Amino acid sequence: MRLGVLFSGGKDSTLALHLAAQKEEVVCLITVVSKNKESYMFHTPNIDVTALQAEALELPLVSVTTEGQKEEELADLERAIAEAKNKFQIDGVVTGAVESVYQASRVQRICNRLDVWCFNPLWKHDQKTLLETLVEKNFKVVISGVFAYPLDEKWLGKQIDTKIIARLVELQSQYGISPSGEGGEIETTVLDAPMFKQRIEIIDYTIEAKGNSGVYIINQARLVPK
Amino acid sequence: MILIVDMNWMRNSLAFNEFVLPIVSVVEPLEECMVKHFLEIDPAELCGYSKIVLSGTALKDHATLKQVDKFNWIKKYDKPILGICAGMQTISLVFGEPLTTCLQIGMTEITTLKENPLFQGTFKAYALHNYSVEPSQTFEALAESTKCIQAVKHKQKTIYGVLFHPEVRNQEILKLFVQINQ
């Protein structure tokens, strides 16, 4: 099966790509760039880095921009998947959905209309185990957004390792935050993964933070040999 | 030991994590379980299992519906069976009851029609299906949505079918099935 992966450049979509590539042929990445910071479906701080990640993965990127209004952005996602179907003859789409039936059912409906398969290889998986898998498989993942108490700017730019996982799990029991950020508490950016032919090096970044909300914006980055 | 049947189109498919593992993660803490793909089932071994759960599949996967002859063992197995989504559809076909078109994707309101050990009242459940069934000589309807029948039970046997996915929302239903006394 030829598949396109819905790719935000964060840990979940990159791990979904990793799993999909072990079983089927991944032929492209599909990215929706939302201008709306409140977008439920697509917003992520470093979405522009997906072009560099696609280059590192040596996979073509189908990228569409959306104003990010609730229903329009779904039409834009449909346009992106339709473009991937026409251009790369994909039979199916892969998402990094873990818990959100809101996101999963919307993608399922679009796939149904376009007559393509929809796969969610991380669906309902234990969040701590997902984070541990990333560390085990040598994914280099940095926290690029925090959006919930008691997370703050000290977390931004930190690489996910066993210590960070232990701390996130602690916060889950104390404050009920989802350790993998499934409720939008954390956003991440992947700088290296087993499928990357080169890794991403950050040259310049900016931290914008206020209280328990902040983003780590990558201003400039480049590919370097692994 | 409970048998969980992988109903996806092939063994070790990309859909395994999505439709089989979530069932395992609910069942395993309650009772030991074994997973087998539907093409690997040896009917002679089934007496060793206390119950059987048939998984769902991706929306475009109709493999089991086209290979109903691989499920003739369902008629002979005399302990509880629960078919989820494609599992329920396959069970219906095994007993010669036809499917009806009914597309539903996402959270759906389910209304219980008949008292049963798995659920009661009105609740929301995750739906992902193209087909349902009509009430028949073989099965009674246990629940419905505004569009179609959502759960059935064989009139004589402890064979249940749910069209919605209890492994996604309403995991309690799966736990109650594990605890059911025949």
Q: Can you name the CATH fold of A127-225? A: putative n-type atp pyrophosphatase, domain 2 (3.90.1490)
**How far is CA A179 from its chain centroid?**
15
| Per-residue pLDDT at B155 | 96
Instruction: Decide: helix, strand or coil at residue A217.
Output: strand
Q: In angstroms, what separates the C-alpha of B60 from chain A's closest C-alpha?
A: 6
Using an 8 Å CB-CB cutoff, list chain B residues near A24. 14
Phi-psi region of A181 (alpha: psi -120 to 50; beta: other; left: phi over 0): left
Q: Are B105 and A108 inside 8 Å of each other by CB? A: yes
How far apart CA B17 and CA B23 sit, in angstroms, is 10
Q: Are B14 and A23 inside 8 Å of each other by CB? A: yes
ipTM at complex level? 0.95
Q: What angle do CA B41, B45, B48 make, to 5 degrees?
A: 125
Q: Are A101 and B168 inside 8 Å of each other by CB? A: yes
**Domain count of chain B?**
1
pLDDT single digits (tens) B151-166:
999 999 999 999 999 9
Q: Are B17 and A101 inside 8 Å of each other by CB? A: no
Closest chain A residue by Cα to residue B15: A119
Q: What dihedral angle (degrees, nearest 10) is formed by the CA atoms of B105, A121, A6, A160? A: 130
- Name which of B159, B31, B17, B35 is nearest B87 in CA terms: B159
Active site residue B148: no
Closest chain B residue by Cα to residue A95: B18
**The domain A2-119 is classified under which CATH number: 1.10.10.10, 3.40.50.620, 3.40.710.10, 3.50.50.60?**
3.40.50.620
Closest chain B residue by Cα to residue A100: B168
In this complex, the residue of A101, A117, A120 whose CB is nearest that of residue B107 is: A101
| Per-residue pLDDT at A68 | 72
User: CATH code at B102?
Assistant: 3.40.50.880
Active site residue B167: yes
Active site residue B165: yes
Q: Are A124 and B13 inside 8 Å of each other by CB? A: no
Residue numbers of the domain that contains B78: 2-179
How far apart CA A205 and CA B145 sit, in angstroms, is 51
Q: Are B21 and A124 inside 8 Å of each other by CB? A: yes
Ranges of chain B whose pLDDT falls below 70 = 182
Strands B159-162 and B149-154: antiparallel
| Per-residue pLDDT at A171 | 84
| Per-residue pLDDT at A40 | 56
Using an 8 Å CB-CB cutoff, list chain A residues near B22. 123-124
Q: Which of B14, B19, B24 to mutate to test the interface with A (most CBs of A within 10 A)?
A: B14
Q: Are A19 and B126 inside 8 Å of each other by CB? A: no
In this complex, the residue of A24, A109, A112 whose CB is nearest that of residue B14 is: A24
Domain locations along chain A:
2-119, 127-225
Give Dmax (Cα) for chain A. 48
pLDDT single digits (tens) A107-136:
999 999 999 999 999 999 998 999 999 999
**pLDDT by position in tens, chain A (length 226):** 999 999 999 999 999 999 999 999 999 999 988 877 666 566 566 777 999 999 999 999 999 988 877 778 889 999 999 999 999 999 999 999 998 898 899 999 999 999 999 999 999 999 899 999 999 999 999 999 988 888 889 999 999 999 999 998 888 888 877 776 776 788 999 999 999 999 999 999 999 988 888 899 999 999 999 9
Q: In angstroms, what separates the C-alpha of B15 from chain A's closest C-alpha?
A: 6
How far apart CA B81 and CA B97 sit, in angstroms, is 17
Three-class HEC string of chain B: CEEEEECCCCCCCCCHHHHCHHHHHHHCCCCCEEEEEHHHCCHHHHHHCCEEEECCCCCCCCCHHHCHHHHCHHHHCCCCEEEECHHHHHHHHHCCCCEEEEEEEEEEEEEECCCCCCCCCEEEEEEEEEEEECCCCCEEEEEECCCCEEEEEECCCCEEEECCCCCCCCHHHHHHHHHCCC
